[in-house]
Structure 1
Amino acid sequence: MTKNVIIGAGFIILLCLAGCSEPEAAEVLEETEQVEQELTSLDVEFEENREEETSTGNGVFDYENDVDYYNMGDAALYRDDNDFWIEYADGTVIEDLAATTAEQEEMEKIYHNQLEMIKKPFAFITEIDPEIHNKFDMEIRDNDYLLTYNGDEADIEELGRGIAEQTGSVPDGAETNDMDPSDIDIDAFTLEMIIEKETHYLQQIEQKVAYTFNDLSDVQEYKYTYSNHNDAEQIEIPDATIAADDTDPVETTEQDELSAEEKETLEAEASDYLDALIQATVFQDAEASMDLLPDSYSEEEKKTEAETQRDMFKDIYIQNTEQNMQGANVTEEEVTDLADAVMYALSTTDYEIMDAHAESVDNIVVTISVEGIDDTSIYQETDQELLELYENGEIADEEIDSKNMEILIEKYNDIDELLSPVELDVHVMQNPDDTYVVIAQDQYLAGFFQ
């Protein structure tokens, strides 16, 4: 209801006496969806939690030129059209993640799934549930809208399964571990979005999905914060230090299969390289690593590779710990002491190179058996001890972070039992200069940290 009010010499102003109508959640989301489709560029900062692991980083997306940058902390991914680059913390840049058409298509699928939720999150979830616009509660605040997902049990199962399926597919050598949605049970799901009133730009999205897949449970928590809508800096792709072959990628055929001698050499050298890599990283032993590196490395290259891998592994652990504990009441000395304790715990582990199989120079699968440490139990026991100390009044709020570090350091230094052996397949590639690389070191580290 409105009322005409005359001011001065006949100026008429319409006043909203009963309050102007506010938009519905579906209207806000439809507008946001349209704005998202028209973006030319965007910055994002992310925090991802899976069980006891937390990773942080940032990304830049240039939609206009179809270029992506995704910084994962210990490495950065660049994508330009259908080409990929990975830049590691030591400055190494690897061009062309896969040398055959089939593998390239598989890589594209993996990174498309992993990045699409971040790049255009509302388009991503709308593809899973086209009717999602009507399944949010909305709180209207001064400068933004807070939208909370309110789907029923069936809706949650559908959306949660879709997200778990897409974000849960990970590389395994040259293949992927894909999830069958029918095997996924959703235990919990939440989704919140903050949308700026004036522009309808998505400012932040948080989601949590807890699910069970083939009797294995996982909890994923994601938080993405967006800025510089249509005004992100241009992405500069670095020059590769390890370049791809100049030939066009082709499918492997019977005519270009490896000879028995080539196969044997690749399998032996890839096994030696992985052995050397484990010594340098897990056991922090550069000398042992140098002794194991293949003869295709010069003495200077052996020294550089072994020392770089040793130092980078510990440095990255320290950097990740500092990032994960931002805002916590801990010192640099405590973080370094924790890193030393973890390195000691890893030095007590054991492993064995079991087998190797080479299909091509960029697809050598080395199988290892590892007796690792029960990292999950260490954190669970630490959390329990902290809780008991706090409930008994033995530590104050401001002492919790420091006590947490103290207990963790003690437990890692006192490690005296290893888990039963597990077998893992690790994908090793030979570079054009006859050196080797393991792009996904988590493939073997998963056995040492369990």
Structure 2
Amino acid sequence: MKRITGWLIVAGMALLLAACGGKTAEEASSDMEKAYKDVKTMEIKFNEKAVSPDDYNIKGTMQLDLENDLSYSEYDDGGQITKISTGKEGVIYDDGTKTEVLEGRLSDYMLFVEQYEFELHKNPIAFYEKFDPEFTEKLKLEETDSEYILTYEGSSKEAKELMGDLTKDYYTGLQKAAGISEVDISSIEGEGFDYKVTVDKKTSLVKELVRNHEYSLEINKKNQEQGVRKTNSYSYDTVDSIQTIAAEAKPEATPEQEASAQEAAEYVDALIQATVYQNTDEFMKRHPESPDQEAVKKRGDFQKSAFVEIYKSNTAKNFQGLPAAVSEDQINLYTEGFLAAIKQTKYKVNDAVYNPDTDSYTVDLEVQGFSENRLLAEAVQPVMQKQQNGELTNEEFVDELITASANRFKGPVPLELPVKASVNVIKNGEGHYEVLLQDEYLLSFVQ
């Protein structure tokens, strides 16, 4: 679901419209605010076309029950139709091959996205006022016999600021709600924003909304430019009841499976202690009970050292683009600083469930991590300035760059907002568990 939800009237024009008896954008917005209070359900036909980074075109229909916070959506990407409904049963997903109740991060993600859609469609003008309190003043109003047409005419700078603030709000919400931490929030920049809304004169309700969202951001340390054009057409109170999807009931976990789920949670807790906090003693204390404590200790020592060695190897590869060679001592210094930073993070284990479809377990975490990019930006800026001034040789530049970064890591580290993470665990023998992809939790600790 690649969705992101995603008025300048000069004083003289406003006065002219008022003198002629026409509405201003502010008055049209106020009338909409009142009209939407009486709306109980709405149906929205949409078309969403992305021009970057990967071209796609999705069309479909969404039904919203504003009184009961229920929704039903159908998405047609030209190859298959995906159906999603939200309500008391949670989030139910049907891709044509299976129907299931979503759990963990997927459920949290979809609930957040659907709620964001609720907020937009309840009033498509008021929604944008959250990001620019003067939004209505930047709308140009045109009038036909039956419609008001409001078009955004803010400056290029104002459009970029609005788009940047909206996108940051969206991804910050995703981080908090579903642990989507791959995006560096500080990297987000608005690039462009177009907006046109057509309002029915009689009802003061929106008939059509057309908008174009353009922004850039860093995902997993790679820069991307994204753009999406969305068109929505609306009908109101035409749906007697919101459609729902019936999901097959999953078999309940047996007492043995529930006990194993608890042990899986204990193992993830122990693994974090060994890797993130480099503490083998805590790994042994938190590890599921095992008669062979020597084997548990060996596993803890292995995880502790493997985490460091893998980090060093990746760091060495990342440093290959620097203008001078990096020594092993410099890599060790940088790694020492990184470990000091990551040990300042916080987390808690919330829940664990058994997944009968995959015979595995999902452990849910809440993590307060840190932004590596933010710390590096603070550290390297003075060094970059010295290099630009011609004060450093390439070797001196690399040495100061690594030293400054390591020292910044060792200082007090500001933590990001808590995010959720879901870790998949398999049971590999009695009392022995494995996490096949440690990035499922590590990407929340280091954002």
TM-score interval for Structure 1 and Structure 2 normalised by the shorter chain: 0.3 to 0.5
Scaled by the length of structure 1, what TM-score is found? Answer: 0.47
Scaled by the length of structure 2, what TM-score is found? Answer: 0.48
